[in-house]
Structure 1
Amino acid sequence: MQQMQQQPHETATSFVNIAAYKFITFNDTAEKRPVFLEFCQQHNLRGTIILSPEGINLFLAGKRSDIDAFLTWLRADARFTDIQVKESFSEHQPFNRMLVKLKAEIITMKHPLIKPEEGRAPFVEAKTLKRWLDQGHDDNGKPVVMVDTRNAFEVDVGTFENTIDYRIEKFTEFPQVIADHKDELNDKTVVTFCTGGIRCEKAAIHMQNIGYDSVYQLEGGILKYFEEVGGAHYQGDCFVFDYRTALNPQLQETQTEQCFACRAVVTPREQLSPAYVPGKSCPHCAPELAAPASESNASAAA
């Protein structure tokens, strides 16, 4: 049986990285934007906060005392008292600056009738999902199917074993794709998942709305799954939207990079290509320069 590996410990020099979201009516976003920005800047925090009439979504990094101060301040607002946070640690600041953005949705789906605040779809916690995957079915004996709601380039970095990946390029494509495949999934228990839970929450509600009768969202997404059970039934790493690029199941930064020019994910092997010039190009955007890693190594040894 696969053992859960030890997560990295926080040290005196660590940066605490947090990800959190909540769907809640938030009509004073314009007034709150400068307040959020000022507080974060005063506490040396960096990252991105998205404020929307449907709620808040945030990715921040800073020292422990500053992160704790932010969460205490945020939770003093009754709308965010119970906001749940996922944590990981790094030895460097993974963000370059602090941004607070105003958007129509905290995750764009373009289905305004989906309102998670009015009622969530059923969710499955990480430990229960692992047990289902261990035994090959849910507690009612139905086969479990994992559906990845992330974009194709994220899936390529890592995903659950035997997952369904519809190769979407943006989340707004998901509603039509999942409707088109409804018949083939109707006799199964479907678990939607994403990085931190926000996309799969909307996805599961939409699936319920169009008639799926056994659908769940993975509570807290991949990051919470890693935190609670490690990498069981997961292959590869998890793409994250900061300068760490990807985390392994121990929530540690990997050697995966993202191309500055085309934003493609560049694996350690692809970084051996002559097409990979940090900050300029990679094998995905300069394929005429690309050569297999074995060829590059052979040339270097010649």
Structure 2
Amino acid sequence: MKRKLAAAIGIAGMMVSIAACGGDGGDGGSDKSGADAKELTVWLTVDAQNNWPELVKAADAAVTKKHPGIKINHEYYGWPDKNAKLDAVLATDKAPDVVEMGNTEMLGYMVKGAFAPLDAGQFDNSAAWLDGLKASVTYEGKTYGVPYYAGGRVANWRKDVFSSVGVKSAPKTYAELTSALDKVQKKEGDKFSAWYQPTRDWYAAMSFVYDAGGSIAVESGGQWKGNLSSPESIKGLKEFQKVVDTYMHGDKTKDESDRYIVYGQGKSGMIFAPAWEGATAAAKENDKTGKLEGNVEN
């Protein structure tokens, strides 16, 4: 029997999975029947394990208070590994009841019918869900996940590096930013990345695409068509390439997974990253320069 997963973008989904897990969606379901479940298996990413374990405990406490006696089992995965593992167990009795998903990962699973639909009205704050996150868990009018958190990508730079070239405050325009970066790059030389920007970070690349008026795809008549070859998208991609060619002097084959570690090694003046990466780079275990605490700024 094929189980449907009670999907959620993270911790908040724990609250709904009791009622939704094991939903059969018309194809038989599982031997779990929602509120009768005695155990709940929750997959989270290592971000939750490393950065907000107290939130996980608080969510567990809320679930067990409402459902006394239930056992909650956690498994933690890295982002690159999670979906491969999920694909391997999705049609078996080893599938989790709740899984943390990124918003860009949701659509493929919703289209395939892998997740059980949820009633958003069961959540007191559902009317306040961010539009972007609400859209990412919605398909054909049904809701398949609960927004967990939203994180913005920001420029994070070393104040000492930029101050050394006369930049005392945050640039207010893109032109001011590139002017400051030019000064840093000239001073530090080609062994240093004024802007450390992994080329395989497509989130960053798409920021340039959308800023130029392009997009990944466009919908017409219920069909989606790739749009990265449009003049606007090409313009954005060329600007992204210019940034990489001008300011990125690290390994250009890398992705962004260890960007905060590289930043902590003192090899770059700025990163464009989720807001937490600057603080993580400045943590004692990652700051190999001994200069980052109190010296990184968004």
More strand by share: 1
Q: Which has the higher contact order (CA 8 A, sep 6+)?
A: 2
Q: Same fold (TM over 0.5)?
A: no
TM-score (norm 1): 0.27
Greater C-alpha radius of gyration: 2
More helix by share: 2
